[in-house]
Amino acid sequence: MASVQFRPTDDGATLTTEMLPSLNGKGVGSQPNGKPNGEVMRLEPKIGLFSGVTVNVGCIIGSGIFVSPKGVILNMGSVGASLLIWTFSGLFSMLGALCYAELGLSIPKSGGTYAYIREAFGDLIAFLYVWLGLVVLLPVTFAALGIIFGQYLLEPAIVAMNCTDVDLTGCTQILAILCVSIVSYINCRSVSLAARVQDVLTVVKVLALAAIIIIGVVELAKGNTENFENAFEGTNWMGLGGALYSGLFSYAGWYSLNFIVEEIKDPPRNLPRAIVISVSTVTSIYVLANLAYFTVLTPQELMQSNAVAVTFGIKVMGKFALIMPIAVALSTLGSINGTLLTSSRLFFAGARDGVLPKLISMINVRYKTPLPALFFVSVLSLVYVFVKDVFQLINYFNFVTWTSSGMAVLGLLYLRWKRPELEKPYKVNIALPIAFVIACGTLVTLGAIAAPMDTAIGVAITCTGVPIYCLLIKPRHLPRILTLFVAKFSTVFQRLFLVTAEEKYE
């Protein structure tokens, strides 16, 4: 093992590739240029158009479409209005995605929303977004998705053994831990492997929804159209805000591909195409799936169901109905994999820019993956699996998606004015970002009115990042004891996981 020497940085010391332990019996530094195979240590573009589409589709289609139809129909009260909400939600997501395509090519940096907010509005606001994502929002989301995965995976066994009264919380938590751990390992091991897993899981979830759509077409052919008669009767337009939140929740993830723009092959060509194809595909699937639900289930049955797809399967698929909870579990698994693949780059990018400890921006020298970023968010996710009110925590941060997305697109407008020299391989009509920013502001306002206490708690937790930034991020020199602690921890972590700082192409 090479002797350890320290290279001072803002937050301690790091090890170069020459100082790390050996790979396959040879020192890392003994390779040409001090790197394995003479390569530069950085994230590599390994995601093509098809994988880009499957990553975005896989991040968008989680458990929402199998569950959220209840929320839309409860708020709107009619079949016709519910279908309009699903269509509008898809079009609105496309509007935001097109704006993000311009941002992703004008500012081609990993981190997506964070990178755009930082470019336009500076480090503090960008740090608050990263802080909230790292400490609460994303780990809580992964924990919640893991629990949903466990619940639906256990559903066939519960039905088979008729043990609906048994408390299976422990089993669900164990499955959630296994789910998050396995997905984390895959993402640490290989970007290409994570993308291939996402390809397979996306195909599975699309096939499951295709089965629902085909059954709906068959039912329509049989003449089961009674639920579409007087389709707008009983519409409750006062419930529009709640219905939009439920519908748009199911489309969340349309921005995911921008987080990994540095790992996309030929981004000027593939990023806009992947975004348009994925969001259009999801919108079509969602609208057709809801049409299918209404060919079998009445509005009242949808309102009473906590898992619409499972209720649908029980009613029309007989003994094959247990396929549905398994499909929901696999769909959730795909959402975890895709979101972890993309969102970990948020923390990687934040650390690379100095708003998080440098260690989080390091890359595994063997696999070229942002292993520290993946490691820390995964560990926090496993902790949140044991939090009793994990779903309530998510409610506190419903405003974050539309506040941050609106600010990113507002940054697009600001940068067009302030920095007209920025290269724009792709450019949208200025009316689109203006409309999107106004709509985001409206959604945040409606959400705050509907749940003022939850929103206030979420804002308060977000603001805890301000003193952290002022005390630990902004100062150029930290207290010596803290610097030494970070240096020691970073050194141990680097040796243990074989990670080193990213390097730029010459």
DSSP state at residue 322:
G
In a domain, 256, yes or no: yes
Residues 44 and 33 in one domain: no
In a domain, 479, yes or no: no
Under the banding of pLDDT at 50, 70 and 90, the label for residue 14 is low
Under the banding of pLDDT at 50, 70 and 90, the label for residue 503 is low
Which CATH number do you get for residue 165?
1.20.1740.10
In a domain, 480, yes or no: no
Higher pLDDT, 504 or 389: 389
Residues 23 and 117 in one domain: no
Residues 64 and 35 in one domain: no
Q: Determine the angle formed by the axes of helices 267-296 and 240-251, rounding to 10 degrees.
A: 130
pLDDT, tens digit, 9 for 90 and up, residues 430-488: 999 999 999 999 888 888 887 888 888 888 988 999 998 988 888 877 788 888 888 88
Residues 230 and 139 in one domain: yes
pLDDT, tens digit, 9 for 90 and up, residues 402-441: 899 999 999 999 999 888 888 888 889 999 999 999 999 9
What is the arithmetic mean of pLDDT over 367-373?
A: 88
Domain with 7, as residue range(s), is 1-39+485-506
**Residue 27 in this model has a pLDDT that exceeds 50:** no
Q: List the structure tokens of 415.
A: 């940068």
Write the secondary structure of 193-253 as one string of H (helix), E (strand) and C (coil). HHHHHHHHHHHHHHHHHHHHHHHHHHHHHCCCCHHHCCCCCCCCHHHHHHHHHHHHHHHCC
What is the arithmetic mean of pLDDT over 242-255?
A: 85
Residue with tokens 């001072």: 8
Under the banding of pLDDT at 50, 70 and 90, the label for residue 95 is very high
Residues 222 and 358 in one domain: yes
- Average pLDDT of the chain, as a whole number: 83
Residues 453 and 307 in one domain: yes
Beta bridge partners of 500: 363
What is the arithmetic mean of pLDDT over 142-157?
A: 85
| In contact, 426 and 412? CB cutoff 8 Å | no
Residues 2 and 124 in one domain: no
Residues 443 and 492 in one domain: no
From residue 63, alpha-carbon distances to 186, 334, 495 in Å are 21, 10, 39
Residues 31 and 136 in one domain: no
Q: Which helix (H) or strand (E) holds 499?
A: strand 499-500
Residues 57 and 115 in one domain: yes
Residues 67 and 88 in one domain: yes
Residues 256 and 375 in one domain: yes
**Residue 168 in this model has a pLDDT that exceeds 50:** yes
Q: Return the amino acid letter for 251.
A: Y
In a domain, 4, yes or no: yes
| Phi, psi at 472, each rounded to 5° | -115, -20
The total number of structural domains that make up the chain: 2
Under the banding of pLDDT at 50, 70 and 90, the label for residue 187 is very high
- Look at residue 127 in the predicted model and tell me its pLDDT: 92
- Look at residue 162 in the predicted model and tell me its pLDDT: 66
For the whole model, what pTM was predicted?
A: 0.83
